[in-house]
Amino acid sequence: MSLEKKYLKSKPICKVKFIAPEPLAEKASSIYLAGEFNNWDYSETRLRKQKDGRYATTLDLETGSEYEYRFVLDGEVWENDYSADKYVPCSIAPVENSVVVV
C-alpha cells in the first residue's frame, strides 16, 4: 500500500502519507511528489527515507476532495502510484495521473 490516510476528528483534514512503491524507490536517487496540492512543483515535496526503509512524505489535505499527483524520480521521470485510489487522464500529456480521494 502506498497511501495511508488518517482523518482528523477536530477538523476536515486528512493526513495522507504518500509512500513510493518499492520498484520506484530502488531505481531512483531522489523521489519527489508533484500534484494539485503543490501546483505540480516537482522540487517542493521530497520523500524521505523512513525508519522502515520506505520513502514517504505526509501531507494535510482537505477532506471531501480528490487530488491528482505523480511521483518524480531524479527530477526527470514522472511515474504513477501503483495503488492510487483511481486514475484520470492528464490534461497536458497522453498519460494518466494518480488520484487520492480524501
Question: 70-85 burial, b if ≥16 CB within 10 A, otherwise e?
Answer: bbbbeeeeebbbeebe
Chain segment 66-90, per-residue pLDDT in tens: 999 999 999 999 999 988 999 999 9
pTM over 0.85: yes
Q: What is the tally of structural domains in the chain?
A: 1
Output the domain CATH number for residue 25. 2.60.40.10
Residue 8: give the domain boundaries: 3-101
**Overall average pLDDT of the 53-66 stretch:** 95
- As given in the structure block, the three cell numbers for residue 11 are 477538523
